[in-house]
Structures are given as structure tokens and as C-alpha cells.
Amino acid sequence: MQIVIGFGEKSNIEGLRAEVLGWPVHADVDDDTLYATRHIVAVTGDGNVVGAVSCSLVAFPNGDGANFGASRAVRFWGLAVDPRFQYHGIGTQLMGAVKERAYDLDARVLWAYARHDAVPFYEHMGFDVFEGPKESDLSGLPSKRVALHLRDVG
């Protein structure tokens, strides 16, 4: 099955976020409204959105053993893949698009709050995991901060 990765609208991903992440259908995510926010989607040939992630320029919160200083950072959130399409590389493709966006924005760090069950996925992709669990604002599940150093300031 062919999957195309591209940009989408928040309204196109709300149902998927609700189904996969347990977020309210019209979740009020502050970062969704930032100027630089992009919603990246995975779409099947028949137009169904089967994966999504959002990202924007958001400062990295230093502490808990992590300190990237004042580096330019991109935060991502809401990575969700339809359960029928999981384990086929769609999450990896979406994260590749997030990395491209981060490079386009000249980011030094790519980061997120990841649910505990997703941490191994990010570790496999080279992300560092930082202590200091945080409760997700939307699903209520515990999460940890993950970060990937993209490039040095220079």
C-alpha cells in the first residue's frame, strides 16, 4: 500500500488523535496554534489519514539532566498511527518529515514529551530520554521528555 507524507490541517487529524492517543476530539493544544506549527500526515492512496504528527518552534525546557542552552528547538507532539497501519514504518516516515522540518527551521534540538510506552520507539531513533516524568495534559498518561541533538551551534 502506498502512503504519502505531506502537510495537513488540524481538523484532519483530530479523530486519529482521539482514537490512538485518547485525546478529546477537539483537544485544545496550545502549540497547535503557533505560527510555525505544521501538521504532518500520512495518507493512503484513497485519501485516508492513517498517521499524523505536529511540530513547531518551541524552546527546550532545560533541567532534569538535559541542558541544550538557548539552542533553537523544534517540539513535536501528537504522533499517532492508525492501529491497522502500525508496524509498517509510518511512524518512522512521519518522524523523518519532522526532522526535515526541524532542519528547515535551523533547529539544533528536536524534542517531545513521550508516553512511556512510546519511549523505546524514540530511543531506537537515537533520542535521549530524560528523567522527570510528566503527566500528559490531554490523556493523563505519564510521559518523559525525549530529545535528539541535531547539530552544534556554529
Torsion angles phi and psi, residue 54, rounded to 5: -120, 155
Q: Mind listing the pLDDT tens digit for each residue in 98-120?
A: 999 999 988 989 999 898 889 99
The pLDDT of residue 61 is 74
The pLDDT of residue 26 is 77
> CA quadruple 137, 86, 49, 122: dihedral positive or negative?
positive
Asked if residue 154 belongs to a domain, the reply is: no
The pLDDT of residue 127 is 95
The pLDDT of residue 121 is 96
Asked if residue 92 belongs to a domain, the reply is: yes
In the predicted model, residues of the chain with pLDDT beneath 50 are 65
CATH number at residue 115: 3.40.630.30
The pLDDT of residue 93 is 97
The pLDDT of residue 54 is 95
The pLDDT of residue 145 is 87
